[in-house]
Structure 1
Amino acid sequence: MLNYLDSNIATIKRELTIFYVLDTSGSMVGTPIATLNRTMTETVEALKSFAKSLVDVKLKIAVLEFNTGCRWMSANGPEEIEKFHWEDLSAGGLTDVGITLRELNSKLSRSTFLQSMTEVYSPIIIFMTDGFANEGYEKELKEIRDNIWFTRAIKVGFAIGDSPDVNMVFEIVGDRDSVIRVYNPALIGKLVKSVSIGTVNFVLGDQFAMERYPDINISIDSGETEKHNSESETFDT
């Protein structure tokens, strides 16, 4: 009986969820949305491979796209990364940031998307946009800032393309050093993949990750994105 219990206890995994909040508005039509789909396909595959090394952690993913309104890729909540399948997104419509923050806020709860039979880590939230909100979002931003799961989350923002609202991204993630300004679309894939795995390692406190995964060479707290010079940089005042 003891061996049976020990075996079952050993299989209990603490859950960690990555939330991707992705702009798919009209400004993303064409090359930008194709780049986003390719980037996320590669990132999901990289996370699946990486998750095999996580002995006592169950890695999950949730994708919230926003344009005119917002939509979860999986309405049933975060999926285990091993079972997750990326569905290519289409672009069009407005940039409803306020509605999106309200929806994200409603799901950052143990009674909704963070529901689990085990303990959960503070989530990771990766926000990406290439433009400006089409309406105010101050009320929704204030409300989500009162959500302890949002407050404790590791948040990283990507401001991509020629004219994103960098200040909006900063207001959402709450830290200028966690806003990555990307001018060159060719870098998006590497950056998103690197930040995704880097933030998981950061949450888990893995001191040896960089040695085991040498291709993942960008950490959110090191400012190394500045090495791309004019193509990509951390937002700084």
Structure 2
Amino acid sequence: MANIYEGAVEVSRRTMTLFFIVDASGSMDGAKMGTLNSAIEEVIPEIRKISGENADAAIKIAVLEFSSGTRWITPAPMDAEDFTWSFLTADGLTDFGEACKQLNEKLSRKAFMGDVAGSFAPAIFLLSDGEPTDEYASSLAKLKENNWFKKAIKVAVAIGEDANRDVLAEFTGNKEAVLTVHTPEALTKMIRFVSVTASQIGSKSSGVGKGGVDEAANKQDEMIDKISEVKAAEPDDDGDLEW
């Protein structure tokens, strides 16, 4: 009897890239960077699990750090299954404008978005504790013209009171997508919440808009709804140590 599965071709899943854009300037040194490193390392297995169980898309991870200049920790997006977090160190300035420029260059089918099977809009997670030290307005303006960026789920975490929340709101497109934390416990919670929730929402097919603007807008709205729920449930940071 012939094997009915003989010659069957496995259908490749689309991909969804989760970008971590991390402020590694000198003001992040100590508890902030230590907490960030540990929290992201601990959440990676959950992202792997979401990716492995997802019939619609495989999740990839890309990491950009910015301080005095920028550095892609991942030369290209890596499958969550193969990704291991590399602990970052903090030093230097806060070249946020350069980070926007680098992200804009990679959000292209000629760069990070050229997956053969096709890509869902990415999820972009920005973490920062300070004020840009370079000219960022022109680079951010160009980034906001990028169609992949327009469609992306965008969330930012402001770490401590010195973080410029207005700049982070410019990046995400609205202040509702900016979370503020003042303690290591809160930072750990928010890194897990954003990473897991953005991965879940970003890597599913909504069946609306077929990956276009409608689907992307729905996903960003869904993410903001989840953020609003968290803010309502936990209006104040917990823990004793504040930055």
Q: TM-score, normalised by structure 2?
A: 0.84
What is the 5 A alignment of 1:8-19? 8-9=10-11, 12-19=12-19
Deviations 1:62-94 (A, max 9, x none): 00011000101122x000000001111000000
Counterpart contact for 1:43–1:189, Cα < 8 Å:
no
Deviations 1:100-131 (A, max 9, x none): 10000000001101111111100000001001
Task: Using the TM superposition, give the Cα deviation of residue 228 of structure 1 relative to its aligned residue in structure 2, in angstroms.
Answer: 1.7
SS class of match (2:236): helix
- Counterpart in the other structure of 2:235: 229
Counterpart contact for 1:66–1:100, Cα < 8 Å:
yes
- Counterpart in the other structure of 2:99: 100
Counterpart contact for 2:50–2:200, Cα < 8 Å:
no
Output the CA distance in 1 between the equivalents of 2:187 and 2:7. Answer: 46
Task: Using the TM superposition, give the Cα deviation of residue 2 of structure 1 relative to its aligned residue in structure 2, in angstroms.
Answer: 7.3
- Counterpart in the other structure of 2:52: 52
AA at the equivalent of 1:8: E
SS class of match (2:180): strand
AA at the equivalent of 1:187: A
Task: Using the TM superposition, give the Cα deviation of residue 4 of structure 1 relative to its aligned residue in structure 2, in angstroms.
Answer: 4.1
Counterpart contact for 1:182–1:188, Cα < 8 Å:
yes
Task: Using the TM superposition, give the Cα deviation of residue 53 of structure 1 relative to its aligned residue in structure 2, in angstroms.
Answer: 1.2
AA at the equivalent of 2:136: Y
- Counterpart in the other structure of 1:150: 149
Output the CA distance in 2 between the equivalents of 1:201 and 1:95. Answer: 30
What is the 5 A alignment of 1:154-173? 154-173=153-172
- Counterpart in the other structure of 1:3: 5
Task: Using the TM superposition, give the Cα deviation of residue 184 of structure 1 relative to its aligned residue in structure 2, in angstroms.
Answer: 2.1
- Counterpart in the other structure of 1:214: none
Output the CA distance in 2 between the equivalents of 1:87 and 1:228. Answer: 30
Deviations 1:204-237 (A, max 9, x none): 158xxxxxxxxxxx954230222222228xxxxx
Output the CA distance in 2 between the equivalents of 1:27 and 1:193. Answer: 22
Deviations 1:31-81 (A, max 9, x none): 111011101101212211222211341110000011000101122x00000
AA at the equivalent of 1:230: D
Q: Which runs of 5+ in 2 are unaligned?
A: 207-221, 239-243
Task: Using the TM superposition, give the Cα deviation of residue 8 of structure 1 relative to its aligned residue in structure 2, in angstroms.
Answer: 2.1
SS class of match (2:22): strand
Task: Using the TM superposition, give the Cα deviation of residue 182 of structure 1 relative to its aligned residue in structure 2, in angstroms.
Answer: 1.2
Output the CA distance in 1 between the equivalents of 2:33 and 2:77. Answer: 22
Output the CA distance in 2 between the equivalents of 1:86 and 1:5. Answer: 38
Counterpart contact for 2:125–2:155, Cα < 8 Å:
yes
- Counterpart in the other structure of 2:34: 34
Task: Using the TM superposition, give the Cα deviation of residue 5 of structure 1 relative to its aligned residue in structure 2, in angstroms.
Answer: 4.7
AA at the equivalent of 2:186: L
- Across the aligned residues of Structure 1 and Structure 2, the Cα RMSD in angstroms comes to 1.9
- Structure 2 residue 78 is matched with structure 1 residue 73: no
Q: TM-score, normalised by structure 1?
A: 0.86
